[in-house]
Amino acid sequence: MDKMYANTPKPPYYAVIFTSVRTEGDLGYSDMSDTIEELVKEQPGFIGMESARNEVGITVCYWKDMESIRRWAKNSVHRDAKQKGRAMWYESYKVRISKVELEY
């Protein structure tokens, strides 16, 4: 499979879909984004990630199960990033969590 795609297992697994519109300027966003990207890869249950940004950014993180997603949501660095995102990096955003039943 192309290197742009996460190497996902046979379903079922979960996808956290983060869609966002950024504010102007960096304001430390790039550094935190790099930190989060490295940290998430170390989390139990993390499978992979795909991301694209134009006017709207979409990042999809794939997870083994809901418990892994819940643990990541409680991670202190991730919680700090979410707080800063709401305060200064995102004009708007939405998080969706889906169970992947089929992949082809």
DSSP readout, 68-101? HHHHHHH-HHHHHHHHHIIIIIEEEEEEEEEEE-
CA 5, CA 52: separation in Å to the nearest integer? Answer: 11
Question: 78 vs 4, which has greater pLDDT?
Answer: 78
Distance CA 1, CA 57 (A): 23
Domains and CATH numbers, the chain: 13-100 (3.30.70.100)
The structure's pTM equals 0.91
Among all chains, which residue has been given the structure tokens 């979410």? 82
* Tens of pLDDT, residues 55-78: 999 999 999 999 999 999 999 999
Q: 94 near 60, Cβ under 8 Å?
A: no
Residue 1 has pLDDT above 60, yes or no: no
Is residue 104 within 8 Å of residue 11, measured between CB atoms?
no
**pLDDT at residue 2 tops 60:** no
Q: Which two tokens stand for residue 80?
A: 């700090």
Judge whether 26 and 11 are in contact, CB under 8 Å: no
